[in-house]
Structure 1
């Protein structure tokens, strides 16, 4: 069976790559112009722009919703006002003004049978856990999904320490288990290019600055500063700010200052195939790969999700719902 899926906050299509073996993407949305350029080059279509301006009714019917959404603080301003006016309100109302709200309104309108959301691992602890509590209440209590979450580290699949939270939901109460990620993965040297242009080597001025910055913070007992990578191990987490100075992942060189990763190496670090086209400037490419998902992790999750849908094994629990409190009770 081919599954129809949509790709929200699509970036450069990392989640789409993972799900394409199982179906067809019927809608994509990404507001960043440079990311759209990369998406067009690799998938032959231009994503729609700002999802906030798109009516959920205009989005095609689909089986699976994918979204690597940005985390924003949730404001509950207005809730007390609604109460004072005697107006009903729910968790969904309280998420208005956040990008999660746009995912929720599409789920509510289109009722896909499953979804996969990805975010930074700190989503769970943000605002003392209230942000994630609100998200889960919307997904389970208001939208009726059976929800699973896990923080997975990509370092067993790619040579990068990258922890992210993955949230999987099913419209039916079916059993699901996240994939087991290997403890040890490939070494960093396996993704490095052989011949690298000198422009990626740090200038004397920048290298001196990074060393003095790290030394200054070391004296204060802080661990801030550049990271000189161990080529036989894994790197730090690649971030969207890598284009600024490359300091989080520096590659040592004999007889030279260390160097930044090249954009192609960043693509490999995130598990993109060699056929993936890089058509933008280095600055834009660094931002795009830093913001992307680690593709091999999502591939394993996709496989498990499809298996769960097709196995259709119902869990023997029912949901006891209390506003602000979710608990399972065995039948």
Structure 2
């Protein structure tokens, strides 16, 4: 039994994942039975990846090229978000117009490396690396069959600009901002996504769960969607009691006005500061904060995923939730109908040391 329908023209998919981090998208690919190699420069994230058995090339994406991965048929990447995120430096948002100008220049074949070097924060220019890879592969006559990119919502204009370039070289492209809780992740998080595919139309994955609304009943809403998943759902094995979580960030412009959510709601966005979230039981007594395993589970990593190295909270916060990554990969490959709750239950709640075979999780006609 093969992982993908025989009619798929990317049945032999192999992914090269730029800025792979500890493996959010790689875990998703692993669940789907797709070979993937990840490039990552953070030593601690590489320690986690290797302990998890994920194929890893430790180093700077800028020192590699498509020629180093000749078997790859799919390109994926989630460049560092720190200069674009609201919680970060903001350097990327300030430089957005320049980034968009460089996208146009790259489409014309210009060498923009010297201009990228002028950014105040070198991480800002890394958002352009996936386009470099895509254009180099196309020029060499070896275009990727599919491309998947993700970043914080502020990067959506960059993805839209890249989409125009990719369409000009033969791709069908879709871009948009996805909400993680609408795909079964027990956490509210928004990600700007680009998916592209050669010789086949591509559309964003259809949401499977209801959007979170503060104060709303999770049972009410679009009857075609499932209720959002909660922290209590995700942590039923480790937190067998009612609890609430206090946000690390202020609301309404007041840094002291910290939001609070109960365990019957999705988690706040899991960031690199997740280990600082204060947790209280139903009596208002402060209890143990989230462990690394629990924080990872809120991102939809299995509870026994083997986190290693230092600053594990940052590794977890940097990752794309594997469950969302699975929906995205399935959409670009046209196999979304193979995903259901049984698939995710066995993948996420299973034993990472004995990962399930794709043939055990889905039935392929």
Residue 185 (structure 1) aligned with residue 228 (structure 2): yes
Residue 257 (structure 1) aligned with residue 286 (structure 2): yes
User: Are 1:74 and 1:95, in contact at CA under 8 Å, matched by a contact in 2?
Assistant: no
Deviations 1:171-212 (A, max 9, x none): 22524342223103222122336668xxxxx9xxxx9xx99x
Q: CA–CA distance in 2 between the matches of 1:171 and 1:261?
A: 42
Aligned to 1:24: 35
- Of residues 224, 240, 262, the one that matches 1:230 is 262
Aligned to 2:358: none
Q: Measured at CA, do residues 94 and 222 of structure 1 come closer, stay the same or move farther in structure 2, by a change above 3 Å?
A: farther
Aligned to 1:114: 146
User: Are 1:7 and 1:67, in contact at CA under 8 Å, matched by a contact in 2?
Assistant: yes
What TM-score does the superposition give when structure 2 sets the normalisation length? 0.65
Q: CA–CA distance in 2 between the matches of 1:242 and 1:92?
A: 42
- Of residues 65, 76, 81, the one that matches 1:55 is 65
Residue 46 of structure 1 and its aligned partner are, at CA, apart by: 3.4
Q: CA–CA distance in 1 between the matches of 2:235 and 2:162?
A: 39
Q: CA–CA distance in 1 between the matches of 2:331 and 2:56?
A: 29
Q: Measured at CA, do residues 158 and 89 of structure 1 come closer, stay the same or move farther in structure 2, by a change above 3 Å?
A: closer
Deviations 1:13-44 (A, max 9, x none): 1111212324212x320011100000000025
Structure 1 unmatched runs, 5+: 81-87, 197-201, 310-331
Secondary structure (helix, strand or coil) at the match of 2:28 reads helix
Q: Measured at CA, do residues 288 and 297 of structure 1 come closer, stay the same or move farther in structure 2, by a change above 3 Å?
A: same
When the two chains are superposed, the root-mean-square deviation of aligned CA atoms in Å is: 3.4
- Greater helix percent: which structure? 1
- Of residues 168, 179, 187, the one that matches 1:153 is 179
Aligned to 1:246: 277
Q: CA–CA distance in 2 between the matches of 1:149 and 1:54?
A: 26
Q: CA–CA distance in 1 between the matches of 2:258 and 2:334?
A: 42
Residue 271 (structure 1) aligned with residue 271 (structure 2): no
Q: How does 1:1-331 map to 2 (within 5 A)?
A: 1-20=11-30, 21-25=32-36, 27-71=37-81, 72=92, 73-74=95-96, 76=98, 90=107, 93=110, 96=113, 97=116, 98-110=125-137, 111-124=143-156, 129=157, 131-141=158-168, 143-156=169-182, 157-183=184-210, 184-192=227-235, 222=254, 225-243=257-275, 245-246=276-277, 250-252=279-281, 254=283, 256-257=285-286, 259-281=288-310, 284-307=311-334
